[in-house]
Every structure is written in C-alpha cells, then in structure tokens.
C-alpha cells in the first residue's frame, strides 16, 4: 500500500496532466449518466405522445452524447498512455542507473535473468496497471459516487433492494481474494524462475550442446513452463469462478429490482420508463463490481511488481563513497595491504591476514594454485569488495576514504574473463577512455599485438563485434582487453591471467609490449605461466588465502616451497615438450 503511494509520487512532476486526466475522467463518467434518463424520456414521454420532433431530439441527443464521450475518452486514453509511458521511462531509467551503482556482491547472489525480469517485466506490469486497471478503478469509483445518490433519489426502496446483494458479494470476494493473492505471488516466482533459467541456458548453450543435454534442458524448461501454465490456469479458473458467482449474485439483484419494480409499476407508483432507467443505473453500480474481479488480478500482479521494483531501488550498494571521501586527481600508485582478511561471505574467509607493501612503480607478480585467492586479492585494490578485517591503502589512504571514481579511473584492469560489448572494435578498445584519438587507439592495439589483425579486417576498427559482427577468439579478446586497459593510461595496472590464452610467440610479443606499457606504473600481474613473471620485482606466492612467500624469482627458486614446486613442474613439462619435439 505504501509502495503504491510511492508509485503515485512518480506522477508528481506531471501534476497538470494528472489534473487534466482526472477532469477528463469526470467528463467520461458524466457522459454516461444521461443515457438511462434519455431511455426513460423516450419510453414515458416521446412514445406516448408519438412526437416525431421529440424523437429527432432524442436521436441527436444520443449521437451528441456518444460523440462527446468518444472525444473525451480519446483524449483521456491518450493522456493516460503518455503518463504510463512516462512513469515506465522514469522507473526503468532509475532502476538501470541503480543497478549500475550496486556492488558486485549484489550480482554474485542473483541470476542475471531474474534481475532482467525486474527491469523489463515488472515495470511492464506496472505500466499496464496504470494505463488499464487503475483508471477503470477510478472511473468506477467516480461512477459509484455519482450514481448512488441518483438511484436513492429516484426510488429509495428499489435502491435498498439493489444493495441487499452487497454483503453476499463482499463475503464471496473475501473468500476468493486470499487464494488469488497467494497464487499470484507463486506465479510471479515461477515466472522469475523461467526467465532466470532461460537466460542462463541460452548464455551457456555451448555447455548444453557439448554435453548433449539439449533434451534434458528442454524437459526441464517444459517443467517450468508447465508450472506456470498450471498456476496460471488455477488462477484463471478461480477468477472466472468468482466472476460467475458475482454475475449470478448481481443477476439476482437485477431480478429482484424487475420483480419489485414491476409491482410498483402495476400499482402506478412508478412509470415503466423509470424502471428501465433505474435498471440502467443499477448496471452502472454492478458493472464496477464485476470489473473489480479483473482489476483484482491485475492489482495482485502489479502489487508484487511494485514491491520488487522498489526493493531493487532500495537496495543499498555495499560499496559506496563515504560522505567525506577524498578525490585524488592523480595517484602515486603505492598499494598496501595491512592485516587484511576477506571472505565473500564474512563467515567463510578466503584471504587471511594479508600484509603486503607495494611501492609506486613496482611490478608485483602473484602466483599460487587455482582457487588460492589471487583474483580475490587484486579485486580488493579496485575496491570491488570491502575487506572484512584490516585495510587496503592506496597512497597511504584507506581505499574506503577515497572516492571510488578516483580509484577506478586510475586502475587499468584486465579481468580473467575478458568481456566485449556488441559495439565496434574501436568502441570496445576506447571503452574506458572514449575521447581517445585514433593514434592512441592504434598504439594500444599495437601494444597488445592486435593491430595487424584489425587492420586486415574489411571494416578495420569499425568492425562490429557480436550478434551482427565478428566473433573474436579467446586470445584476441584477451589482447583487446589489454589494449582497453592500457589505453586509459592507468597508475595501477592489474592483469589477471591476461596472457593465459596466448601462444608462446604472441605472448612474447605482448609481453615485450607490456614491459614497455608497465613502465612507470604499479603493476600486479597474476600468471600461471612462470615464464611471464620472472622479471617481476617481487613475486608473491599465495596458498589457501595466505601469503606464504615473497621474493624475486632467483630467491624463490633457490629455496624449497610452493614456488619451487611450481617452477620444477613447469620446467619439467617444458623439458618433456622439448624432448618430445626432438624425438619427433
């Protein structure tokens, strides 16, 4: 209910139009009122008098009335359509802006499809309710307010008779309402599950095909569709049943009025035309009752949708600027971990008591087994997550006291899984620095050993990626991600396994370029292939969330430990390869 009020708050900026809409609603409502009276006039006056001229009057009155009603309805619906679209526009814009503000932890816990369902479906439902049901409801209420006194004034005994069915109606309605509401909530959840599953399985179609699970997935999807169907049908049945009962109850009311009204007519206390007019007005009273059933379904859906949209809007990002956060126009690039512990779920720590001091301009390599916490460690520098204990400092300041924008703008990040958008290659490379000149973009691509590939494409840098464009290989994507990160000229460069998909020769090219690009910045390089990190100033060895060793390559291979084991293993396999090549 409070959320409904909040939704109406979105109409505030369009106050004038809302007032106009209400005025038009009044006109539309009012235009329906004379009709039963005209019928009465026709039956009680025009027909007994056999007056041709009055009949013509009735004809023009009806045509005029409906023409007026038509124009008013047209304007009203146009205005409501506009208001509905406008609210949807505002809600969608706000939701998307807010989703962009939410931290990664929000996305970790939710299926993409379910998030999408909120921005698309829920807001559609709200629009539908605003332009459809909601307006009908208001017009109906207006009609009730106006018609009630009219019928009481016309014939109060008949009016009382018409109202005896109201308690029955209320009881039946209450009985059904609870079931319908429960079904709506359940249906909404199943619908979410359907969208969630659909998005996930389409995104993962390669896995589905590789494991030949198409049949299984279709069956599973069918189950979800079936669930939706079954629930939808129970809801529809319940709804129609309620509609049936309401129709019968109101038919009973109408029957009673005809019966008692006819007696009144026989006793000459009422004229036939008056009775017909009365029944006409009663139709205006019972009509809303019938429509309330349909509105109810809509309102249940919309209520759930409104709640969910506002729930998203009310979710506070975990990571936000502190009120007194400082902006740092240019970072020196010193990074320090002080007694840092972190867990995605605070009760399950992934990193334990990390202490590491990195001077500006240093090249730090991070190695360790898969799942040891390397990505997690570097994610704390860009403050994608906040530490559970201790602090991460950049230039001596806790990252939580620096403006996020200052940090992120000056960190170049190549994540473990490179992601491209469905835009041109140029736009993808310049994603973090859209004012980049062509020369800068080409240089960045050169450094990533990607320029010659792009230059050979018919459309060059204007080649579109994705749906209607080219697809890049994993290695090409990695190189594009490197170009994108280095183009922003960051103070701190983080490469998370950025060259893992490159062949030795390409890697050597990229490495040479990276060595140049890394000059003058603080660099964190995560790599599984040790050949890429032998030149690091320091190598940090991580195992099970702890730093187990720090040193240069020479120092680390000289002593037994995780690093030496890794080195021996890779060295041995490299030797084996060489041997195999030699033996042919």
Ligand X SMILES: Nc1ncnc2c1ncn2[C@@H]1O[C@H](COP(=O)(O)OP(=O)(O)OP(=O)(O)O)[C@@H](O)[C@H]1O
**Which positions touch Mg ion (CB under 5 A)?**
375, 416
Residue 494 in the binding site for ligand X (CB under 6 A): no
Among 370, 439, 452, 504, binds ligand X (CB under 6 A): 370
Whether 450 and 376 have beta carbons less than 8 Å apart is answered as no
Minimum CB distance to Mg ion smaller for 247 or for 375? 375
Quickly count: other Cβ atoms within 10 Å of residue 443's Cβ. 18
Tokens 């409502």 label which residue? 29
Among residues 80, 89, 11, 2, the alpha carbon closest in space to that of 310 is found at 2
Gyration radius of the chain's alpha carbons: 36
Minimum CB distance to ligand X smaller for 315 or for 489? 315
Shortest reach from residue 208's CB to Mg ion, in Å? 25
Among residues 383, 389, 377, 429, the alpha carbon closest in space to that of 404 is found at 383
> 57-83: string of b/e by CB count within 10 Å (b at 16+)?
ebeebeeebeeebeebbebbeebbeeb
The encoded tokens of residue 300 equal 């249940």
Shortest reach from residue 514's CB to ligand X, in Å? 19
Whether 503 and 516 have beta carbons less than 8 Å apart is answered as no
Q: For strand 351-358 and strand 492-496, is the pairing parallel, antiparallel, or unpaired?
A: unpaired
Shortest reach from residue 387's CB to Mg ion, in Å? 18
Distance in angstroms (rounded) separating the CA atoms of residues 8 and 134:
11
The encoded tokens of residue 409 equal 């703008």
DSSP SS3 for 354: strand
Shortest reach from residue 508's CB to ligand X, in Å? 22
Comparing every residue's Cβ against Mg ion, the nearest one is 375
Shortest reach from residue 368's CB to ligand X, in Å? 6
Shortest reach from residue 347's CB to Mg ion, in Å? 22
Binders in 287-346 for ligand X, by CB under 6 A = 344
Shortest reach from residue 375's CB to ligand X, in Å? 3
Minimum CB distance to ligand X smaller for 100 or for 370? 370
From the list 178-186, 287-295, 367-375, 396-404, the region that binds ligand X by CB under 6 A is: 367-375
The encoded tokens of residue 442 equal 């080409």
Residue 344 binding result from ligand X, Mg ion, none, given CB thresholds of 5 to 8 Å by partner type: ligand X
* For helices 15-32 and 34-41, angle between their N-to-C axes, nearest 10 degrees: 20
Residue 103 binding result from ligand X, Mg ion, none, given CB thresholds of 5 to 8 Å by partner type: none
Among 375, 424, 535, 570, binds ligand X (CB under 6 A): 375
Alpha-helix runs per DSSP H in 102-210: 104-108, 112-117, 123-128, 134-154, 156-163, 165-203, 205-210
Among 254, 416, 440, 531, binds ligand X (CB under 6 A): 416
Size of interface with ligand X, in residues (CB under 6 A): 12
From the list 48-56, 207-215, 368-376, 426-434, the region that binds ligand X by CB under 6 A is: 368-376
From the list 228-236, 279-287, 365-373, 402-410, the region that binds ligand X by CB under 6 A is: 365-373
Q: Is the dihedral of CA 499, 504, 509, 511 positive or negative?
A: positive
Minimum CB distance to ligand X smaller for 154 or for 399? 399
Distance in angstroms (rounded) separating the CA atoms of residues 560 and 164:
93
Distance in angstroms (rounded) separating the CA atoms of residues 106 and 100:
11
Distance in angstroms (rounded) separating the CA atoms of residues 498 and 490:
16
Shortest reach from residue 463's CB to ligand X, in Å? 30
Residue 108 binding result from Mg ion, ligand X, none, given CB thresholds of 5 to 8 Å by partner type: ligand X
Among 31, 143, 296, 376, binds ligand X (CB under 6 A): 376
| E runs forming strands in 404-545 | 411-414, 492-496, 522-526, 538-543
Shortest reach from residue 523's CB to ligand X, in Å? 17
Q: For strand 397-398 and strand 389-394, is the pairing parallel, antiparallel, or unpaired?
A: antiparallel
Residue 477 binding result from ligand X, Mg ion, none, given CB thresholds of 5 to 8 Å by partner type: none
Q: Is the dihedral of CA 228, 229, 230, 236 positive or negative?
A: positive
Minimum CB distance to ligand X smaller for 344 or for 433? 344
Whether 85 and 13 have beta carbons less than 8 Å apart is answered as no
Element (H, E) at 509: helix 504-518
Task: Tell me 315's DSSP state.
Answer: P
Residue 372 in the binding site for ligand X (CB under 6 A): yes
Residue 569 binding result from Mg ion, ligand X, none, given CB thresholds of 5 to 8 Å by partner type: none
Minimum CB distance to Mg ion smaller for 199 or for 416? 416
Distance in angstroms (rounded) separating the CA atoms of residues 425 and 441:
10
Shortest reach from residue 526's CB to Mg ion, in Å? 6
Task: Tell me 369's DSSP state.
Answer: -
Whether 466 and 483 have beta carbons less than 8 Å apart is answered as no
Residue 373 in the binding site for ligand X (CB under 6 A): yes
Residue 111 in the binding site for ligand X (CB under 6 A): no
Shortest reach from residue 372's CB to ligand X, in Å? 4
Residue 201 binding result from Mg ion, ligand X, none, given CB thresholds of 5 to 8 Å by partner type: none
Minimum CB distance to ligand X smaller for 345 or for 357? 345
| E runs forming strands in 298-410 | 335-342, 351-358, 363-367, 389-394, 397-398
Among 101, 108, 171, 512, binds ligand X (CB under 6 A): 108
Residue 372 binding result from Mg ion, ligand X, none, given CB thresholds of 5 to 8 Å by partner type: ligand X
Residue 415 in the binding site for ligand X (CB under 6 A): no
Whether 44 and 61 have beta carbons less than 8 Å apart is answered as no
Shortest reach from residue 528's CB to ligand X, in Å? 7
Minimum CB distance to Mg ion smaller for 375 or for 388? 375
Residue 310 binding result from Mg ion, ligand X, none, given CB thresholds of 5 to 8 Å by partner type: none
Shortest reach from residue 108's CB to ligand X, in Å? 4
From the list 129-137, 158-166, 183-191, 363-371, the region that binds ligand X by CB under 6 A is: 363-371
- List residues near ligand X by CB under 6 A: 108, 344, 350, 368, 370-376, 416
């Amino acid at each position: 209910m409070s959320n409904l009020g909040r939704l109406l708050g979105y109409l505030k900026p369009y106050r004038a139009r809302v007032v106009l809409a209400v005025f038009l609603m009044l006109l539309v409502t009012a235009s329906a009122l004379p009709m039963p009276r005209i019928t009465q006039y026709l039956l009680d006056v025009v027909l007994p008098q056999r007056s041709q001229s009055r009949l013509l009057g009735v004809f023009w009155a009806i045509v005029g009335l409906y023409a007026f009603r038509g124009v008013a309805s047209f304007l009203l619906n146009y205005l409501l359509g506009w208001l509905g679209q406008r609210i949807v526009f505002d809600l969608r814009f706000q939701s998307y802006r807010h989703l962009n503000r939410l931290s990664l932890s929000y996305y970790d816990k939710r299926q993409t499809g379910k998030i999408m369902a909120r921005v698309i479906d829920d807001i559609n439902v709200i629009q539908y309710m605003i332009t459809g049901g909601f307006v009908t409801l208001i017009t109906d209420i207006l009609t009730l307010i106006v018609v009630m006194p009219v019928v009481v004034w016309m014939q109060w005994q008949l009016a009382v008779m018409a109202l005896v069915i109201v308690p029955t109606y209320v009881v039946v309605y209450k009985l059904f309402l609870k079931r319908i509401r429960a079904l709506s909530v359940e249906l909404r959840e199943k619908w979410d599950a359907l969208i969630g599953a659909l998005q996930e399985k389409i995104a993962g179609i390669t896995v589905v095909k590789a494991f030949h699970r198409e049949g299984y997935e279709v069956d599973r999807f069918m189950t979800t569709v079936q669930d939706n169907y079954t629930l939808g049908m129970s809801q529809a049945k319940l709804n129609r049943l309620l509609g049936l009962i309401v129709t019968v109850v109101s038919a009973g009311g109408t029957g009673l009025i005809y019966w008692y009204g006819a007696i009144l007519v026989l006793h000459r206390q009422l004229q036939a035309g008056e009775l017909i007019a009365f029944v006409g007005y009663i139709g205006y009273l019972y009509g809303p009752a019938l429509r309330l059933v349909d509105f109810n379904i809509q309102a249940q859906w919309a209520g759930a949708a409104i709640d969910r949209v506002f729930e998203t809007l009310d979710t506070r990002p975990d990571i936000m600027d502190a009120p007194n956060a400082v902006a740092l126009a240019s970072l020196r690039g010193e990074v320090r971990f002080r007694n840092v512990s972190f867990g995605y779920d605070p009760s399950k720590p992934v990193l334990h008591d990390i202490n590491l001091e990195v001077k500006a301009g240093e090249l730090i390599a991070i190695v360790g087994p898969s799942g040891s916490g390397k990505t997690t460690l570097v994610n704390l520098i860009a403050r994608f997550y906040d530490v559970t204990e201790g602090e991460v400092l950049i230039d001596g300041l806790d990252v939580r006291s620096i403006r996020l924008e200052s940090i992120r703008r000056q960190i170049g990040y190549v994540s473990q899984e490179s992601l491209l958008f469905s835009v041109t290659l140029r736009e993808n490379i310049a994603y973090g620095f859209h004012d980049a000149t062509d020369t800068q973009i080409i240089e960045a691509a050169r450094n990533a050993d990607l320029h010659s590939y792009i230059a050979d494409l018919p459309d060059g840098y204007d080649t579109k990626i994705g749906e209607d464009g080219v697809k890049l290989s994993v290695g090409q994507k990695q190189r594009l991600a490197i170009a994108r990160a280095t183009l922003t000229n960051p103070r701190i460069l983080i490469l998370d396994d950025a060259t893992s998909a490159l062949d030795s020769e390409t890697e050597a090219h990229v490495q040479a370029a990276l060595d140049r690009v890394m000059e003058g910045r603080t660099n964190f390089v995560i790599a599984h292939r040790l050949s890429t990190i032998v030149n690091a100033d320091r190598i940090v060895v991580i195992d099970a969330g702890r730093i187990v060793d720090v040193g240069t390559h020479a120092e680390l291979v000289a002593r037994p430990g995780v690093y030496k084991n890794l080195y021996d293993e890779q060295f041995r396999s490299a030797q084996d390869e060489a041997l195999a090549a030699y033996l042919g």
